[in-house]
Structure 1
Amino acid sequence: MQQHIRWAKQAGINGFIVSWKSMPKLNRRLEQLIELAETENFKLLIIYQGLDFEREPIPVEKVARDLDYFVYRWGNHPAFDLFGRPVVIWSGTWEFSVEEIASVTERFRDRIYILASERNLEGYQRLRHLVDGNAYYWSSVNPDTYPGYEEKLQEMGDAVHADGGLWIAPAAPGFDARLIGGTRVVERKDGETLKREFAAALSSSPDAIGLISWNEFSENSHIEPSEKYGARYLEVLAQIRGLPAPDVGNFDSDAPAATGAGYGLPMIGAMVLLLIASLAAIVWREAYRRKQPVDSGRRNTTDETAADLL
């Protein structure tokens, strides 16, 4: 895990967005990652898995219990303080009713930021007064064939920022659904797809870009060093970020992989977090959040701004 964090930092990555829900094995793995993140001055966000393996919503009582556990155990840990307090992205919010979302967010929004994971403007607007922003997981888009791709991201980013929320825009190096029973393929084009999707995400003025992914081998969106691609996609990302190519040391892309797919973080899936917004923009939006009356659904918080922390 420590080597992964160091590779990521060399490529200009600010943190991992870690897939989690409360299970003994995942809790142990997350605890290990948190300890290493603190040592390496690396940040973490959580993407909470609100859907089960059949893509059905888990009981909202389970969501509340898990977030209660997270806040109690890690809510004040510095690894989660990138935006002043922990950020939890609730995956699958479109499968929950407004009442179910409200029953959870009203309990925790004075201690953590809870972001929706809506896939379009209408979905976000349904929940806009109940959440602190939106993070869009869109790994399968083909920028060559999807009409209005950039405009959709810009529209969503504008709406989230109009509410004073955090907007995490998506980008990916490519996609291949054939290993998970699908047919859709978005070619990587030796880094050109990543460059184009990164530029599209950037055009939406995000607070951060959620790069999909660090180690999602099943949909071929990973950028961690691997047998097939070596360190190519860390090199492309470093180039985008204006940094020298990462030194992956003795990594041998032809050597057998430690996990069978790549040098993965066992049992923890991770997206990549790239902080984008200028400090001035983050301060403005945090100040906007502070001014919102409590009964509007936005918090009236006195937290530190992101500028105080970076």
Structure 2
Amino acid sequence: MKKYTTFLLVGFMSITVALSCSKDDKPGDTAPTENLDPVAVSKTNDTKIYMHYMPWFETKESSADQQWGYHWKMGNKNPDIIDANGRREIASHYYPLIGPYHSGDAAVIENHLLMMKYAGIDGVLIDWYGTYNLNDYRINKENAEQLIAMLDKVGLEYAIVYEDRFLTNIVDAGLAPTIVSAAKTDFSYLQNNYFNDANYIKINDKPLLLCFGPITLTQPSDWTNALSGFNPKPTFLTLWYESADAGDNASGEYSWVYQDNSHISNFYANRMPTLGVAIGSAYPGFNDYYQQGGGGDAIGWTIDHNNGATLDATLSMAQNANVDYLQLITWNDFGEGTMIEPTVEFGYTYVEKIKAFAGVQNANVGFSEISKLYNLRKQYKGNSVVQNKLNKAFGYFVSMQPDKAVQILNEIE
């Protein structure tokens, strides 16, 4: 922890002075010499914009077995191989601008959340595998909680997208007697650890909970039982056209990405009017790597990125449908090629388009300056003096004083 003097009298003035900072200062820590609390981005578009987020990436340095995680290598790629351009061999058609990363890395999370904030995104919908220590589920949860810990500092909301497809694996491993009891254990954790957070997303005054399916729990009685421990019951949404599996437990549905844009237009025109709550979707494209990466069969269809035209079209469709809530698909599913995160191939094109869609008014700074903060974090890793200056820059970014943040970055550079 930082140690601070209380007050020093200089003449008739009382000032706060930071005496020292420990070596464990992390991104997001700032000296309390001025108010650097997060300030909301000003937007002209009142649509609530949420980003679907995968917390599942591991590097050799972050993993217990010193192996690259599945989502960078799938079945046959080796990120230790580096090409002439300095890029690692990863299981994707696209390459992250900051390179392959560990999802629990504080500097990575800082970079991602600042990019989202300055693009006008209101919150993050976290793909969540539950609480059990099987495969990489527990690691994903731990990475997600590193993300959650910084969301409040940046001033963004969050909610959980529950993956019920893996419940059978929990039972088969002998970790729970039934799939319903396994889900109840996960939901008890949500209730006790996330739902009471001030920045957890609420719709109709109830915590938002999405399910990517249902896939395993496909009977309304299963969901009645699984959700019985919640108080209050969440605003529970299933994937589009799947709410009948949850029966009256479902408050509505959210759309996704499938084959071509006509599926979204049909959802808006024919399905959305029948739902109590609906979340629309927009995406830049779809191009999976499963077959090339030895990760299974190819999905069998693609949606071309069209140099940004696909994202333009799906954002426009959401605007024309007057959706209240919009999910961007996705920040970083590199394996399916839906990533909005800046990449070598597309640069900052997608975050710039979302910023324009949101009508951001008070974020007069380029996304490259946020990248500069990340690069300096890595360049001066272990240098507590520089890291403290970067912490101050972070504080200026989140409090919507980007000019002051950039000034600090330029002084270090």
- Fold shared by both chains (TM-score > 0.5): yes
Alpha-carbon separation, structure 2, partners of 1:55 and 1:98:
21
Alpha-carbon separation, structure 1, partners of 2:370 and 2:123:
23
Alpha-carbon separation, structure 1, partners of 2:168 and 2:336:
17
1:88 maps to 2:209: yes
Structure 1 counterpart of 2:237, which letter? L
Give the unaligned 5+ runs of structure 2: 1-108, 133-137, 172-177, 292-296, 379-413
Relative to the length of structure 2, the TM-score reads 0.53
Relative to the length of structure 1, the TM-score reads 0.70
Structure 2 counterpart of 1:37, which letter? L
Alpha-carbon separation, structure 1, partners of 2:225 and 2:356:
44
Partner of 1:142: 260
The alpha-carbon deviation at position 79 of structure 1 amounts to: 2.2
The alpha-carbon deviation at position 101 of structure 1 amounts to: 1.7
Alpha-carbon separation, structure 1, partners of 2:168 and 2:342:
30
1:132 maps to 2:251: yes
Structure 1 counterpart of 2:316, which letter? A
Percentage identity across aligned positions?
19
Give the one of 267, 288, 307 matched to 1:152.
Answer: 267
Partner of 1:12: 120
After superposition, residues 119-268 of structure 1 pair within 5 angstroms as 119-120=240-241, 123-125=242-244, 127-136=246-255, 138-143=256-261, 146=262, 149-161=264-276, 166-180=277-291, 181-182=297-298, 183-243=300-360, 246-249=366-369, 251=371
Q: Does the residue aligned with 1:79 lie in a helix, a strand or coil?
A: coil
Q: Does the residue aligned with 1:92 lie in a helix, a strand or coil?
A: coil
Alpha-carbon separation, structure 1, partners of 2:289 and 2:188:
37
Structure with a larger share of its residues in helix: 1
Alpha-carbon separation, structure 2, partners of 1:12 and 1:188:
22
- Please tell me whether the aligned partners of residues 220 and 244 of structure 2 are also in contact (alpha carbons under 8 angstroms): no
The alpha-carbon deviation at position 77 of structure 1 amounts to: 0.8
Runs of 4+ in structure 1 off by over 6 angstroms are 53-58
RMSD: 2.9
- Please tell me whether the aligned partners of residues 238 and 246 of structure 1 are also in contact (alpha carbons under 8 angstroms): no
The alpha-carbon deviation at position 25 of structure 1 amounts to: 2.1
- Please tell me whether the aligned partners of residues 154 and 205 of structure 1 are also in contact (alpha carbons under 8 angstroms): no
Report the number of matched residues. Answer: 243
Give the one of 124, 131, 144 matched to 1:22.
Answer: 131
CA radius of gyration, larger in: 2
Residues 206 and 63 from structure 1, CA distance in 2 versus in 1: closer, same or farther, beyond 3 angstroms? farther
After superposition, residues 66-105 of structure 1 pair within 5 angstroms as 66-83=186-203, 84-93=205-214, 95=216, 96-105=218-227
Give the unaligned 5+ runs of structure 1: 259-310
Alpha-carbon separation, structure 2, partners of 1:201 and 1:128:
27
- Please tell me whether the aligned partners of residues 140 and 174 of structure 1 are also in contact (alpha carbons under 8 angstroms): no
Alpha-carbon separation, structure 2, partners of 1:184 and 1:49:
23
Per-residue Cα deviation, 1:155-192 (whole angstroms, up to 9, x for no partner): 2211113xxxx211122110012435323111111111
